[in-house]
Structure 1
Amino acid sequence: MEYRRREILGASATGIAAAVAGCLGSGGDGGEAGIAGEELALATTTSTYDTGLLDEVNAAFQERFGTPVAANAQGTGAAIESARNGNADVILVHARSQEDEFMRDGHGVNRRDLMFNDFVIVGPSDDPAGVGDTEQATAAFDAIANAQAPFVSRGDDSGTHTKELAIWDAAGVEPGGEWYQELGQGMGNTLNNASESGSYTLADRGTFLSMQDNVDLEILLQGPIEGGPELLANPYGIMAVNPEIHSNVNYQLAMAYIGFFTSPAGQDVVSNYTANGQQLFYPEALSEDPDFQQYVPEGWQSDGDSE
């Protein structure tokens, strides 16, 4: 269901600016004055919600600032479209090409690299297509297509679906036919369907690890976290919706959330969050050698403009 903004009492910019500054420090007790009573509208991908990570982050944010987060978990494409329509203050997604387009079109500001995990190719333990014998994602997908082994796709314009299509394209395969099924559903439902039907699918590692005890699937090709191909990397970004385009968005509160999520406290939540004893996401906002180019979309400045 699409998030619809409630009319809420606005906070002063000064109060929220102080809250943002406060959340980046190491001290502070209880809620910060200036944003209690607000509500943040977050559009995000299903993987952050299905894994339970958002519950941890949002609880810590609310404890710190007294501000609840209304999270609308969708595929990345739907989350970005929601933000384009002004129905979110901040978005957290994982499809860089779509994020860059959102930024270039002027809908987003202050993008930050946030965290990463990776994608894995999962399927039945008997592995009829021989995916486990491959070393590259393209070879794995080619093997599935050649065997016409059942494959279920999220088919929902999510970050995972975008990555899946990129792999098929790189493999030179156009999927289709009875063996290939597009569900139009989130990661959790897709994994359940693959388990019940004995199919292969592409999954983000975090959601798979959080569900592996409840599905009859195995990781057959690892991503780069476990030494697999870099093509299966899965970075996440966070950005505020541009208040110059959508005057109804709460930009100050969005920046408070981004500030908290990228602060040492927020990144500790990411680092310490586990399922079945395994870390699901890896923090990426803090760096001894920061990449300041992340704040702007790729290609924003043409050659010759810099000196």
Structure 2
Amino acid sequence: MSRLNQGRAAIMLRHRFFILALILAAGFAQSSLAGDRTITVASTTSTEQSGLFGRLLPAFTQKTGIEVKVVAVGTGQALDIARRGDADVVLVHDRAAEDKFMAEGQGVARFDVMYNDFIILGPTADPAKAAGHDVVKALQRIAESKIPFISRGDRSGTHAAELRYWKEAGIDPARIGPSYKDIGQGMGPALNMAAGTGAYVLSDRGTWLSFKNKADLVILVEGDSRLFNQYGVMLVNPAKHPDVKKADGQSFVDWLISPEGQSAVANYKIDGKQLFFPNATGVPTN
């Protein structure tokens, strides 16, 4: 091969390497960009421990390419995370706390998503004679009986509801005595402690249905309209927190309240029992 042909061959080889490098670089850039499509949702332990997110999130990601990282804590903690700008979306269940969050300008808009109900669980023998359809009377009997009651004590939506019911019952739980056990933990640990000690406990129905270690616990109080448990979703306000991923976060909100997202909520069942009931209207409630 002549020197001229050798030179041309070398130039062509370098050109091919250059084109290959550009293709690889473009691929890496696209991969990096796709990897950045991740949002953080601060939510309640009930949405995770019930298994609901395990059903919803893969469907959402498959449709949009957006990955979702869930921080599952009590509602109060979830809203505090959002107040710091460390979440893009919040999905919680304490309407009074949600309204306060919105009044502070921390959320863009609040939408109803779904509901279930709270229940009081206790030992099958029901030593406090709490069974029935009146949550207030049940708590009064439990307090009088001095049978242990497990409180989450974690500023969750369930804990906030429990405190409202005690107030309606005219009882300060701090004055009940040692039978009132404030554990400062989530729904799973509270249920485990109640199951292990023969205690009473307030739970959301979704977590209860997915809970495996039921032991001697049974549902004793249900059906009171005051036990209604509504969930709401809010995009964190990017005007207050510039790092909020507005477009992708809004995509999650929009999908959750869409017919597709609502159908995914409705179709999540355990042993044929529906855990959450969709009720989004697509109309902001604030």
| CA positional deviation for 1:135 | 2.8
Q: Which residue does the alignment assign to 1:179?
A: 179
Q: Which residue does the alignment assign to 1:95?
A: 94
| CA positional deviation for 1:215 | 3.6
| Contact 1:191–1:215 (8 Å) recurs in 2 | no
Counterpart code for 1:57: L
| Contact 2:268–2:275 (8 Å) recurs in 1 | yes
SS at match of 1:295: coil
Counterpart code for 1:183: I
Q: Which residue does the alignment assign to 1:161?
A: 159
How many Å separate the matches in 1 of 2:214 and 2:125? 18
Give the TM-score taking structure 2 as reference length.
0.85
How many Å separate the matches in 2 of 1:259 and 1:193? 38
Task: Report the count of equivalent residues.
Answer: 252
| Contact 1:210–1:276 (8 Å) recurs in 2 | no
Cα distance per residue 1:126-151 (max 9 Å; x no partner): 1000011x431000000000111100
| Contact 2:266–2:274 (8 Å) recurs in 1 | yes
Q: Which deviates the most, 213-222 or 135-144?
A: 213-222
Q: Which residue does the alignment assign to 1:145?
A: 143
- Matches of residues 5-154 of structure 1 in structure 2 within 5 Å? 37-132=36-131, 134-154=132-152
| Contact 1:117–1:235 (8 Å) recurs in 2 | yes
Cα distance per residue 1:216-253 (max 9 Å; x no partner): 3100011xxxxx11110000000000011001111111
How many Å separate the matches in 2 of 1:234 and 1:240? 20
- Compared CA separation, residues 215 and 35, structure 1 to 2 (3 A): farther
Counterpart code for 1:239: M
Tell me which protein shows more helix as a share of its residues.
2
Q: Which residue does the alignment assign to 1:18?
A: none
Counterpart code for 1:219: I
Q: 2:269 aligns with which of 260, 269, 274?
A: 274
Counterpart code for 1:139: K
Q: Which residue does the alignment assign to 1:305?
A: none
Q: 1:258 aligns with which of 225, 242, 253?
A: 253
In structure 2, the gaps of 5 or more residues are 1-32
Counterpart code for 1:47: S
Give the TM-score taking structure 1 as reference length.
0.80
Larger radius of gyration: 2
SS at match of 2:211: helix
How many Å separate the matches in 2 of 1:149 and 1:214? 18
| CA positional deviation for 1:35 | 6.8
| Contact 1:116–1:281 (8 Å) recurs in 2 | yes
Q: Which residue does the alignment assign to 2:193?
A: 193
Q: Which residue does the alignment assign to 1:9?
A: none
What's the % identity of the aligned pairs?
44
| Contact 1:43–1:92 (8 Å) recurs in 2 | yes
Give the root-mean-square deviation of aligned CA atoms.
Answer: 1.4
Cα distance per residue 1:90-114 (max 9 Å; x no partner): 0000000000000000001121000
How many Å separate the matches in 2 of 1:196 and 1:86? 39
How many Å separate the matches in 2 of 1:214 and 1:172? 30
In structure 1, the gaps of 5 or more residues are 1-33, 223-227, 297-307
| Contact 2:195–2:214 (8 Å) recurs in 1 | no
In the TM superposition, structure 1's runs of 4+ consecutive aligned residues that sit over 6 Å from their partners are none
How many Å separate the matches in 1 of 2:207 and 2:127? 24
How many Å separate the matches in 2 of 1:191 and 1:273? 22
